Structure 1
Amino acid sequence: MQVTSSLELSDYEQSDMYNLIEKVTQDSNYKPFQLFNAIISTMSALISLSTSLFFIGTWNMYVALILLVIPLLSLTIFLRVGQIEFLIQWQRSGTERTAWYLIYLLTHDFSFKEIKLNNSSSYLIHMFSKIKKKFIYQDINIAKKKAWFNTLLGVMLNVINSITIVLIILSVKVGEIMFGNLVSLIQALSKLNDYSQTVIQNIYVIYNTSLFMTQLFNFLNKKDIANKSNETEKFSSIENVNKIVLKNVMFNYPNSEFNALNDINITIERGSLTAIVGKNGSGKTTLLKLLSGLYKPSSGEMYFNNVSTSNLNMKDYQNRVSVLFQDFVKYELTLKDNVRLSSVHSNNTDQQIKMILDSLNMSFLKPKDDYDLDLQLGNWFNDGQQLSGGQWQKIALSRTFYKNADVYILDEPNSALDPTAEKELFKYFVKLSKSKITMFISHNIKAAQRADQIIVMKEGQVIDVGKHTELLQRCPYYKELFESEKYQDVV
């Protein structure tokens, strides 16, 4: 969990990283312990195997060598099967995630309504069954190979054992060994078979598990690389953010041929309210993630208080930023935890939490003239209270404003709010903008008119910056957005 928390947001936007995390977290609970047990068992079995081989070798060295060669040959074959099994299980981690996601959809309330209404559960169950059948087919094939090799090994050992026993009896008959040694040699032969089987099985487990452990250590090494990078570079700290400047900033998502942002040049200062507008896919949310320090520019420079992000401790900056994301989290926790998760180390009192709730008019959580901060939200746990979409958004807003930050960014803050709640939100936000750096993303031009400056985005570029009246006169694209909104109001 410490490693995953040290990753960048861009890591989580790649399916390969999800596959790696899923496989590592799924198998790391038992694989290391399994490896330890297999090593101990192998060492014990090897000692006993060596003793039995030595005893048989005192009678006939050639027989002892043959009895040693057969397990070694079997071990080589089994290791090859183990490698194939590991690769199959590792490569299907993405499909396993799909199976998990289908179970998640079929067993949680957020998706139940739509699945029930559209009667699509049978289709999803069929998808799940198809995946599981494929897994069963793969597992059966591996099991067949193991069974075939086990059978072949058993036949070979039985033949060799029979021949060995005959040779021992003949040795007794001709007087090479005494009759008492006959029983001892047959017992040693029996134990040799048991110990060789134990060694083969445990080395198979060790090999298979070591392949996983290699992947695990590579994954854990990601944190060490990040820590060493932070140690070797001297970063500037930041206490108060007063100005943000982007110069010729470009951003490209991994595995994408096109830039999500191109040649961004903007300045945002404390004491002003900034709106970012544009159609879907214009790059607004990507710009938000850059401004919040979750992304690093592919090229160009970002400056906070005239300090480049390449020389800045981004953790210090992120401590000064609070963001409401469009896909905000609905924490199935208490009301208090829902609010304070944006700043868990702050010394704010319960009374300050209640003041934040009051400022956003959270009367729906105040049935008895006071807030119950221990109220369980959501319906996953006992005595939970489920909320509407707009109420959950208000909870997310209270969490955003609870954090004592210099920069506040809201992504579509009014998407689930009614007109009254929207008015109250912007009244509070405009007041906050007098002493902070405040920004919001919106499709709503009416909301953007409240801003001191409006950044207009189109296809990953900032095409104009200005006030509402200025943009109407000089920016045809902005005027188009405004006119289309007026048309929607008439319709």
Structure 2
Amino acid sequence: MLKKLEKKYSLLDHQLYLLHEILKTNRKLLLFMIMEAICTVITPYVSMYIPKLGVDFVAQKEDIHRTILVIGSFTAIMIVSQALGNMASRGKTMLLNAVRNFYREKLFCTTLDCEYSHVESPEWQDKYEEAKQMSVDWGPWSATTLMLSGMIKLFASIFSFFLYGHIIVSLNLWILVLLIVISAFNFYAMRRAQLHEQSRIDERSQLQRRRSNMLSYASDSRMGKDVRLYDMSGWILQIFNYYRELHYRLRKDVQQHYSYAAFVEAATLFIRDGISYCYLIWATVNGRISLGNFVLISSAIACFSSLITQVSQSFGLMMQAVPPLDRMRAYLDKTDTPEPESAVEIPKRGDGIEIIFQNVTFYYNPGKLILDHLNLTISNGEKLALVGVNGAGKSTLVKLLCGLYHPVEGRILINGTNIRQYKKEDLYSIIAPVFQDAAIFPFTVAENVSLKVIKDTNREKVIKCLNTVGLLKEVEGFEKGIDQMMLHITQKDGAILSGGQLQKLFMARALYKDTPIMIFDEPTASLDPIAESETYEQFDRLSSEKTTIYISHRLASTRFCDRIVLLEDGRVIANGSHKDLLKNCESYAQMYHLQSLYYHKNKEEVV
């Protein structure tokens, strides 16, 4: 059912992937990245020549006008380059936020579009959180931002490396070799610290998720009563502080490794500057280089060494981004069951619907069958009830019919066609379910009925459906009618409906979709038995001429159905009308008589 998200990509793969996406969706960001990289090279390079030219002009007693013109020109180039670089950097920062939002939305859309088996999988949800958190939810430290920023710095550093190296070589090739060797030690120390941080980044992410989840649960208003009555505040604070202490120790350990790298950098800096400046002073005193070149080469040596540090940091940031990007791309590249190559058209309106479960076997986990070679036919327009104890397979059978899961063995046919030959969206379009856990959204009443944005909602149809289910009078009592916002999430005056009113709203939602198949999967489980029975009878009146499936634990609520199917251990053990089953099925009769005491308003005995 669940694809393992273990695929790994190379650093170059990630760079090309991000650049390809940016080229398609955000070319301005690519322009800013190139502009910043170029300005990052030009600005310090030009600025190194200004003091060198000043010293040379003074030593040579150059004409003041030429001096001002040349130095002024270099200064202007530096200022323009600095300004363009700053502009590009600010623009890049804003657009990098857009990149994070783009991938955050892309990840979210994947959860909406992926197979339903993933939605119910805790493992898959954990993978989603991992893919999202470190890739897009860490702000400037998100993997997408680290990779793109690291690419800019690395490009600028490598290009500057050759420019500064050319200047140093003009003095002495061996000075360049010395700088490279010394810088290599610094690079090695920094990479060790970075690799250690990368080795603990998953641990850090888990700690942050646990702490965040703990904070979220503790802040949930639904836990308010338990927190107070069971005096849980001290316990929650202890757990929160425990995670905070673990996180502090982890960060301390990481920073300790960076401290060692900083010590190596300081030692190599002392050796580098000592040898380099001693040689420069000797070369200047002996007339091998001018004072101007002394200033230029000194600046080049300092910049060259800092470049090595920048290369190490840039490379480290990009490598730190690789594992999170692996997870993000593996999640985005997940493979669902492909759509049929030659999809069959769904039944047209008025064609009638016949559903056949043909030798269907299914399990969520191997070795624990939910449906065991089940066979069942549902005729066109039939009102059929699925009953049985918990775990009998009622809801699973409905999920299979909806295409949310696929049988391990056997087939499900609609009008003789295997439902796997339909496109998913086509199959969904002919089924209107009302589930037990149906949701209300913080939008208007009309949008909650149509489940479409308001501009695509047929207002007359919404009103008709609300009137049909008997909810229009209550909705018209709202200040804004069908335009009234629901819940208190986005507006304080959001409408709140009672349990019975919610069921009517869900019925209106199913009627608005207007499909040939309707499914009611225990949507009234929170109601009392009498209210449930009345609601189901209303469902029956509203779903006339449609093929309708009812699921309920309460057998009395489904007496009106044309046929009742009793499931046990994933098999059909009996089916027929309510009267037939009472007469011919001992299991059904026993269950019904045990429940019947609670179903009658006057507690009269059921015949």
Whole-Å separation in 2 of the counterparts to 1:256 and 1:364: 51
Instruction: Name the amino acid aligned to 2:252.
Output: I
Tell me the CA shift for residue 433 of structure 1. Answer: 4.3
2:374 partner letter: I
TM-score, length-scaled by structure 2: 0.72
Q: Is the CA contact 1:270–1:433 (under 8 Å) kept in the aligned structure 2? A: no
| 1:414-465 CA distance string (max 9 Å, x none) | 2233567545532332224431110111111101222111121223333222
Residue 176 of structure 1, CA deviation = 5.3
Deviations 1:163-186 (A, max 9, x none): 332333344556655555443332
Q: What residue number does 2:103 align with?
A: none
Match of 1:214 in 2: 326
**Taking structure 1 as reference, are residues 461 and 423 closer, same or farther at Cα in structure 2, changes over 3 Å only?**
closer
Higher relative contact order by CA 8 Å / sep ≥ 6: 1 or 2?
1
Cα pair 2:438 2:523 within 8 Å, conserved: no
* CA RMSD, 1 decimal: 3.1
Among 469, 477, 490, the alignment partner of 1:360 is 469
Q: Does 1:377 align with 2:486?
A: yes
Aligned partner of 2:120 in structure 1 is: 13
Q: Which amino acid letter does the alignment assign opposite residue 171 of structure 2?
A: W
Is this contact kept in 2: 1:250–1:262, CA < 8 A? yes
| Kept in 2: contact 1:275–1:441 (CA 8 A) | yes
Q: 1:36 aligns with which of 145, 148, 157?
A: 148
Superposed displacement of residue 306, structure 1: 0.7
Q: How does 1:312-323 map to 2 (within 5 A)?
A: 312-323=422-433
Instruction: Specify the alignment match of 2:47 in structure 1.
Output: none
Whether the 8 Å contact between 1:239 and 1:316 is mirrored in structure 2 is no
2:165 alignment partner in structure 1: 53
For 1:288-327, what aligned pairs fall within 5 Å after superposition? 288-327=398-437
C-alpha distance in 2 between matches for 1:106 and 1:389 = 27
Partner residue in 1 for 2:346: 238
Matches within 5 A, 1:38-117: 38-76=150-188, 78-79=190-191, 81-86=193-198, 88-90=200-202, 96-117=208-229
Any unmatched runs of 5+ in structure 1?
Answer: none
Q: What letter is aligned with 1:28?
A: V
Alpha-carbon separation, structure 2, partners of 1:272 and 1:171: 101
Aligned counterpart in structure 2 of residue 247 of structure 1, from 328, 342, 358: 358
Q: Percent sequence identity over matched residues?
A: 24
Inter-partner Cα distance in structure 2 for 1:176 and 1:440: 97
Q: Which secondary structure state, in structure 1, belongs to the residue aligned with residue 565 of structure 2?
A: strand
Whose Rg is larger?
Answer: 2
SS of match in other structure, 1:154: helix
In 2, Cα distance between equivalents of 1:91 and 1:60: 48
Change in 2 beyond 3 A, CA 1:147/1:282: farther
CA distance, structure 2, for counterparts of residue 139 and residue 389 of structure 1 = 49
Matched, 1:275 2:382: no
Deviation at 1:314, TM superposition (A): 2.6
Q: Quote how far apart the aligned CAs of 1:375 are.
A: 1.0
In the alignment, residue 233 of structure 1 is paired with which amino acid? E
Is 1:483 aligned to residue 590 of structure 2? no
- Consecutive unaligned residues in structure 2, runs of 5 or more: 1-107
Who is 1:404 aligned against? 514
Is the CA contact 1:445–1:482 (under 8 Å) kept in the aligned structure 2? Answer: yes
Change over 3 Å in CA distance of 1:485–1:349 after alignment to 2? same
Q: Secondary structure at the match of 2:371?
A: strand
**One-letter amino acid of the counterpart of residue 355, structure 1:** K
- 3-state SS, counterpart of residue 170 of structure 2: helix
Check the 8 A contact 1:360/1:425 in 2, yes or no.
no
Comparing 28-37 with 237-246, greater Cα deviation is found at 28-37
Q: Secondary structure at the match of 1:242?
A: coil
Within a 5 Å distance, the mapping from 1:46-195 to structure 2 comes to 46-76=158-188, 78-79=190-191, 81-86=193-198, 88-90=200-202, 96-172=208-284, 177=289, 181-195=293-307
Change (3 A) 1:385 1:358: same
Aligned length: 485
Tell me how far 1:296 sits from its aligned partner. 1.0
- Identify the residue that residue 578 of structure 2 maps to in structure 1: 468
Q: Shift of residue 307 of structure 1?
A: 0.4
Give 2:502's aligned amino acid.
W
